[in-house]
Amino acid sequence: MSTEIRQLEPKVLWNKFADLNAVPRPSKKEERVIAFMKAFGQNLGLDTVVDSVGNVIIKKPATPGMENRATVVMQSHLDMVHQKNNDTVFDFDSQGIEMYIDGDWVRAKGTTLGADNGLGVATIMAVLESSNIPHPAIEALFTIDEETGMTGAMGLKGGLLQGSILLNLDTEEDDEIGVGCAGGIDVTAKRTYKEEETPEFKVGYEIQVKGLQGGHSGMQIHEGLGNANKIMNRLLFDGFENYGLRISEIDGGSLRNAIPRESTAIVAIDAVHEDAFIFDMAMATNTIKKELKTREPDLIIEVSKCDAPKHIMDLGVQEGFTRAMCAALNGVYRMSADIPELVETSNNIARVVVKDGTIHVGCLTRSSMDSSKMDLANTLRATFELTGCEVEFSGDYPGWTPNMDSTILRIMTNIYEKLNKEEPHVAACHAGLECSILGQNYPDMDMISFGPNIKGAHSPDERAQISSVQKYWKFVLEILKHIPKT
């Protein structure tokens, strides 16, 4: 419960995290958390503004003796990914996150935890509220809608901030100092089709894929996790030839930045081939489970009889759709040739909806190289256009190019080595960070990203490591002490 969380060290940070997690804050519905953060700044008597898109900026003067140091922008995003297990009853629009301690980890009961990026927000809140933490002048920037479009960062106008150093607190490995990230683009394929009445000789079945881990579609795209949409399509592929399978509905995945954990399909098959269908589904289920047994030990595929659906897809459209889904790349497209073990380009087939005569497929394509990003996006576009879909690109944002001559990088590297007796991992990541966008209107700002250990982000398995938060908090305090003079 939040009472236990509030007793964790550092209490000042965990208490702010508990306060924040009591406020519903889904992406694109941040009104309550914006009001919460605005009231927080105003109650401290600090200069607090909400900009034209909803970002909250709170400014705090330097502590005595630190007035001649460079102004620092501390930045995190207010929204969180809302995911829950299918058997969890929870209303993200009205309930606060229910947390508990599991050994050295803080978790949530059947939902995402909101450590991404709530721990960063809580860190900044703790600094703003403090009376005994030495720091230079602080400009706290709390952006909105990072998880589903980065529209907060995109809408932040130049001139609102005067800081020369930006500390982005949205990295999820405590031994990593982030200096670059991938850009991304949303690829959406749509089409309509003519529904047909289901013939009387067909019977209905529901197919469910569930129990997958899910996860962050950037940071975990290379881990070999199961994608519910691809698994479902594998079960449906060639179904017509084998037992007259016709698709009525599909509902798979959720958010673009989350690897899809679940998918449900309603189909009709020829009654005469019912035994063959059940046998083949069992064989396919065993095969897929065997392939994924190491990475997805809890995978469940259920095939159960239901009422025959009233309508089914046009057969030609169905065959084109299942083949396009089979051909569309999901996972790693290219590894970086310059940075060892870094995914350069990838795609996540995140959302698939087939219903009422419409098809919708939503993908998130990422890359640290814009040309490779567009190459893969156009590959997906061609794949779906060949089946009659209209494909649109949206939400395009650039990557963040590493600056290895960064002053704050040198300072933070030295501090990390002194605190931990080892070198940090200076790296670019395959996630999208707001630094890439903020740098467009603030090109001279020296930017860096770091944070505590957070595992399973964007999934109900999300968890934050308690000992890592303690390590990270000490790092934050030392960084603020050692900001260079202007």
Residues belonging to the active site: 79, 146
Q: Judge contact between 244 and 318, C-beta under 8 A.
A: no
For residue 468, what are the β-bridge partners? none
Q: Judge contact between 96 and 1, C-beta under 8 A.
A: no
Q: Judge contact between 191 and 390, C-beta under 8 A.
A: yes
CA distance 266 to 247: 6
CA distance 99 to 341: 34
Name the phi and psi angles at 147, rounded to 5: -75, -25
Q: How many CB atoms lie within 10 A of CB 404?
A: 9
CA distance 353 to 347: 18
Q: Judge contact between 106 and 115, C-beta under 8 A.
A: yes
CA distance 165 to 414: 17
CA distance 123 to 128: 9
CA distance 27 to 150: 10
Q: Judge contact between 153 and 395, C-beta under 8 A.
A: no
